[in-house]
Amino acid sequence: MVQRDEYLVTCEHGGQRIPVRYRNCFEGCEAVLQSHRGYDAGALSMARAMARQLGAPLIYSTISRLLVDLNRSPGHPRLHAEAIRRLPADSRQRILDRYYRPFRARAEAAIVRALARGKRVIHLSSHSFTPVLDGAVRNVDVGLLYDPARTGEAVLCEAWLACLKAREPELRLRRNYPYSGRSDGFTAYLRRRFPAGDYIGVELEINQAIVADGKTWPRLRTQVIASLVQALERARCAPSCAGVASA
């Protein structure tokens, strides 16, 4: 049987690096750069492990999201941190041209190449989230963000959560939490570029409280990926998913 799907793994917030020419903008902000505002802790290690398991290309960035958020659309009010928003327009444009557009172009090109080979692309975007935001506790360990209106995404995420729950019954799992899968983001943009029969985009969100636990985090990373492999096989055989794939 010919493999219908190819995989792509991305990590938009993999590090907190600030290029030398912009470091003066962040003087005194070292603690912020090391926090959830600066990057997604654990997201890159998860992305690397997923890409290895799936034999997928990995496209990632270690530039801090405070310089430019690769998971935001141009024009979004939080595309840059306030310190960058104060820079002249030509300086902000250079940041987009140097860091933002190449990242997105590489991912889109990988999708286009796979589609040209007659494949459907399953794109997994690796993220993590702070357990408390603005005083509100996020009571979830793992979330999957997707568009419920796209059947292939719904089928895959349902299978993934079911497989993960079977492996780790104590985990708190949720769909489209702590964010909506339809909100502004790279996968949302790519859904507008590619039809549901060609592209499935899922954002994986891991609670950073688990990432910080040196004993729990390696086990969870392993279980998330093992359940993903199970779910991909289950979703591949599901009639509703197969129908979307051939649309």
Q: What is the pLDDT of residues 184-210, one digit of tens each?
A: 999 999 999 999 999 999 999 999 999
d(CA 20, CA 17): 9
Given a contact cutoff of 8 angstroms between Cβ atoms, the answer to whether 225 and 55 are in contact is no
* For residue 178, cis peptide bond before it (omega within 30 degrees of 0): yes
Across the range 108-118, mean pLDDT stands at 98
- The pLDDT tens digits for 18-40 are 999 999 999 999 999 999 999 99
Distances 125 to 45, 57, 72, 108, 164 between C-alpha atoms, Å: 12, 12, 13, 13, 17
Residue 131 pLDDT > 50: yes
Q: Which of 96, 88, 48 is nearest to 70 (CA)?
A: 96
Does the predicted TM-score (pTM) go above 0.75?
yes
Q: Which of 228, 245, 208, 191 is nearest to 45 (CA)?
A: 208
Across the range 40-51, mean pLDDT stands at 98
- The pLDDT tens digits for 56-68 are 999 999 999 999 9
Mean pLDDT of the chain: 94
- Exposure string (b/e) for 96-120, b if CB count within 10 Å is 16 or more? eeeebeebbeebbebbeebbeeebb
Residue 245 pLDDT > 60: no
Looking at domain 5-14+34-61+113-245, what is its CATH homologous superfamily?
Answer: Zn-dependent exopeptidases (3.40.630.40)
Residue 239 pLDDT > 90: no
- At residue 122, what are phi and psi to the nearest 5 degrees? -110, 110
Share of the chain above pLDDT 70, in %: 94
Across the range 87-101, mean pLDDT stands at 98
pLDDT of residue 68: 98
pLDDT of residue 247: 27
Q: What sign does the CA torsion over 220, 55, 70, 201 have?
A: negative
Residue 146 pLDDT > 80: yes
Q: Is 81 helix (H, G, I), strand (E, B) or coil?
A: coil
d(CA 144, CA 207): 12
**∠142-42-163 over CA atoms, to 5°?**
30
Given a contact cutoff of 8 angstroms between Cβ atoms, the answer to whether 103 and 59 are in contact is yes
Across the range 159-166, mean pLDDT stands at 98
